[in-house]
Every structure is written in C-alpha cells, then in structure tokens.
Amino acid sequence: MGLESSMPPFEVIVSKKTEYGIYLVDNPSLCLTEMELEKFLLTEKFYAPHIRICDPTKNYCRLDSFDFFDETNIPFGCQVLTDSLVLNGTKDINETDFESRLKDIEEIFGSVIVFESDVVSLKFPSLWRIYNYQPDLPVIFLQDNPNLQSIELSNLSSVPYFGKYPDVLYAFSNPLLTQLSLDTCENLSKLGQITIGEVSDSICDNKTMTADTQNQNHTMEFLSEGNGKTGNNSTTLSSVEKVSNRNVFLNSKDGIEG
C-alpha cells in the first residue's frame, strides 16, 4: 500500500526532541531495575538511551559513546538493544555475521532504520517488542535499499509507543522486497499500519494492511515538512545523528530547549 500520489514528500530526521515525557540521559550512576523499566515502558514518550539495568536477567547491550547500534557494534548474544538500530549508507555487509548478531535480540528500545544500505535481509527471529524512541519516525523505516529481499519479524507482538506515524513498517524504494512471510504479515498487521511504496497489497497475501487492535492509540499526523524535491512520494532520511557528546546535542536546533 503506497502513499497517495498527491501527498508531498517528507523529511524524516533521527534526532532527540523536546517531545519526550520522561528523558533520562547522562546519569552514569543511575540504573533501573527491570521492574522499574517495565513501568516506564507503559508510558508514552519515554527516552533513556543506553540505560544501565540493575541486576539484569538478560543481556542488555549498551554503548558508552551513546551512538546508535549498527552492523558492527551489536555484541553476539545481545538480547536487548538500548537504542535504535541504524544502517545509514552501510556497504559491504557480512550477512552471516550480521544475522548472527541479530538472532538473539528480543527487544529494541528505538527504531529500526535502514537507509541506502546494501543489506540483503533483516531477520529478527527472537524479537517480540520494539519501543520507539523516535517519535518522528515509523517504528521500522526502510528506504532505498537495492539489495533488501526479506524481513523476518515472526515473533513481534508488542509496540507500546508509535509516535507521530501510525506505521509499524514504512518501506519505500526497496525493489527486491516484494513479499513478506505470512507470520510477519499477520504480526505487523495486528500492531500497526504497513506502508510499502510501489508494491501492491499482495506483498502480504491480501492480508489487511491496517491495524485494528492498536489503531486507536496512533496519531495519523505525518510530518508536513517538505524536502524540496518533486516527483516522488518517498520519505527522505536527510540525516542520522550519531551524538557522542551530549553538549553538542543539547546546543543543536533540534535539541532540548531551556
């Protein structure tokens, strides 16, 4: 299901905005128990990248640099990613190595963003929950990936927070992505809207492309900020910020005010 032809192009930026209700950053002595974390995950607009967990019962993966996760820095055996997975212009991916890094991931606190990458497949056989840390992005955003052929999300069953987009999956200009598995289609369609640009509804074997169970909690507002281009309906990921210095972020125009 593509966007309507009359809809203008959008600019989508991975950033840290003022919209978060609970914002926990740069507290090196702070740790949350898993029970406390679960309570936060029941709220909207929670943001705590690379938070430390007290006495964890799972393998929570965090980066001291506060960068996003990519194909190189996810430890083998990781069960919980504590920030977004971002492949931005990634080339020469070792697919076997990458699949091994993804196979044990059960939860992601952030979005899954793949843009202009050479990745062939995205397989998350264990992933059951994504809590979107990026309120201005779809939960899973895939664009301009010429080799991407398959997505596996056969166990995904929980997306507590969506943000501005109603889409659990937004994909555009991935010419080889023409079919999703039945399990993946059924799971995604229960959670949120599926938007696949330039591909017919048959990508999900004629399953419904919109959600019933969580749709009342989603906002239908899309970003109205144009990217200055005409002639296509794709979303442009104009910048993916990797912020290793919080002061740089706080002083940026998209950062926290006041």
What is the reported pLDDT for 3?
A: 41
Which is more confident, 100 or 166?
100
Does the structure show a pLDDT above 80 at 255?
no
The Cα 22–Cα 200 span in angstroms is 39
The 10s digit of each residue's pLDDT in 11-42 is: 444 544 455 578 788 777 899 999 999 998 88
pTM of the model: 0.73
**DSSP run (H or E) holding 32:** strand 31-32
Tell me whether strands 193-196 and 31-32 are parallel, antiparallel or unpaired. unpaired
Least confident stretch, 8-22, 39-53, 191-205? 8-22
Please check whether residue 156 is in contact with residue 127, taking contact to mean a CB–CB distance below 8 angstroms: yes
Please check whether residue 102 is in contact with residue 74, taking contact to mean a CB–CB distance below 8 angstroms: yes
What is the reported pLDDT for 205?
A: 52
- Cα 143 to the chain's mean position, in Å? 12
Least confident stretch, 76-80, 140-144, 195-199, 201-205? 201-205
For domain 10-250, give the CATH number: 3.80.20.20
| Mean pLDDT taken over the chain | 75
Q: In the structure encoding, which two tokens stand for residue 154, read together? A: 């056969």
The Cα 175–Cα 199 span in angstroms is 9
Amino acid making up residue 170: Y
- Measured on CA atoms in the order 184, 185, 187, 191, is the torsion positive or negative? positive
Q: In the structure encoding, which two tokens stand for residue 88, read together? A: 């931005």
pLDDT (average), residues 185-197: 88
Kindly list the domain boundaries of the chain, sorted by start residue: 10-250
The Cα 173–Cα 41 span in angstroms is 32
pLDDT (average), residues 119-143: 92
- Nearest-5° Cα angle at 177, 106 to 3: 95
The Cα 235–Cα 9 span in angstroms is 6
Q: Which residue has the tokens 């001291």?
A: 64
Q: In the structure encoding, which two tokens stand for residue 96, read together? A: 């076997």
The 10s digit of each residue's pLDDT in 89-109 is: 999 999 999 999 999 999 999
What is the reported pLDDT for 254?
A: 36
- Pairs from 61-65 (Cβ < 8 Å, separation ≥ 24): 65/244
Name the band, by pLDDT with cuts 50, 70 and 90, for residue 10: very low
What is the reported pLDDT for 47?
A: 84
The Cα 148–Cα 176 span in angstroms is 6
